[in-house]
Amino acid sequence: MKISDSVKYVGVDDHEVDLFEGQYDVPNGMAYNSYVIMDEKTVVMDTVDINFKEQWLNNIEEVLGDKTPDYLVVSHMEPDHSANIVNFLDKYPDTTVVGNVQTFNMMGQFFKLPDNMKKLVVKNGDTLEVGKNTLTFVFAPMVHWPEVMVEYMTPENVLFSADAFGKFGALDTDEDWACEARRYYFGIVGKYGAQAQNLLKAASGLKIDVICPLHGPILTENLSYYLDLYDKWSSYTPENEGIFIAYTSVYGHTKEAAELLKEVLEKKGAPKVSITDLARDDMAEAVEDAFRYDRLVLATPTYNGDVFPFMRTFIDALLERNYQKRKIGIIENGTWAPMAAKVIKGMFEKSKEISFVDPVVSIRSALKEDSRKAVNELADALL
């Protein structure tokens, strides 16, 4: 696949993987992207997952023909991108491997490297001329590993963005970009919003015509759309007006309250109401929706003096990713000692720009006239 005058795609699609990074459901697979720059010098940009060694090396050979690659640039040492470094060097031992100090430290931890390996250690802002094109190395630490760097190639204005602008799903899958890119971002990169903002600032002065991420499709049109979404996500700014209701329930009473709230909100004209059962629905999707909308409702029974375990897991996932700039409503349930509201507020105590919406709906076992009235009052307060 031709990306630009000089850049060709040599990555692979993985439809065998069921859980990416051992936890994220990827029904449409994953793409492990790799690129070749064909200029006076030939440059391979990153490797792929270990299970696709032969396919990837064949892709490279098909592009290079009889040429020998001059450089292998390693943007990110996570094994889905770096696993075939040694296999590549077995085939192309004269290639110079390009990385930063932390790149090579990690490389030595993962692999027994050839004693005669040629390497080029770059610093932030260094350049590499490969012919008519020049690569500039821009460090992007903690997006989302400490050694990460991206590369900007001029004059073709191509940004090799590492895991930034990545997405779940293989390239041969036709699906909406934002949904799976959002789930990928908040699942994997979301903790590091400040660092992603730094990368966006570094890129803001560049003329970018193509973005080549290590996962997901190559972005060539309407780049302002993708940049705007990434800016919102990494600054924790709500993407849409709407209310996301996340509930857990033991015997169905808390579920009934959550569904009643959704019904009331929709009758009152709420712009968007989404609801999920944290025990049964995909947790990563729930985290994604919590960050997507500007209002969140947590509905849970008290459990062992705490919140229900799936609710605690969900809140922990939000806190780990610096959840902020949102309004939160609470529905708690408890037969003899309701504690959920107190626990939830305590969990968010150190979070930035979180405001709790009154009233807290406190149910004693099952919905009654007073708690139904409180649900209506909460709906009004959320609108």
Which whole number is the average pLDDT over 111-128?
Answer: 96
Interval 249-268 mean pLDDT:
97
Note the pLDDT of residue 108. 95
pLDDT band at 342 (very low <50, low <70, confident <90, very high): very high
3-state secondary structure of 67: coil
**Mean pLDDT throughout 169-194?**
95
Whole-number percent of the chain with pLDDT over 70: 100
Residue 1 binned pLDDT confidence (cut-offs 50, 70, 90): confident
Average pLDDT score over residue span 156-177 = 95
Please, how many CA atoms are within 13 Å of residue 306, restricted to the half-sphere of its CB? 9
Quick one: what percent of the chain has pLDDT higher than 90? Answer: 98
Domains, the chain, in order of start with CATH, read 7-234 (3.60.15.10), 240-382 (3.40.50.360)
| pTM, full prediction | 0.93
CB neighbour list of residue 212: distance below 8 Å, 6 or more residues apart: 3, 7, 33, 35, 45, 158, 159, 160, 161, 218
Q: Is the pLDDT of residue 233 over 90?
A: yes
| Averaged pLDDT, 125-131 | 97
Q: Taking residues 322-336, what's their average pLDDT?
A: 96
Residue 12, pLDDT > 90, answer yes
Question: At 205, is the pLDDT very low, low, confident or very high (cuts 50, 70, 90)?
Answer: confident
* Count of helix runs (H) and strand runs (E) in the chain: 12, 22
- Decide if pLDDT at 35 tops 90: yes
What's the mean pLDDT in 258-276?
97
Q: Tell me: the pLDDT tens digits for 47-82?
A: 999 999 999 999 999 999 989 999 999 999 999 999
Give the per-residue pLDDT at 135: 98
- Mean per-residue pLDDT, 182-199: 95
Q: Are 228 and 219 in contact (CB under 8 A)?
A: no
Q: How far apart are CA 181 and CA 158, in angstroms?
A: 20
Say if residue 44's pLDDT is above 90.
Answer: yes
Q: What is the structure's pLDDT at 79? A: 96
| Cβ atoms 187, 24 nearer than 8 A | yes
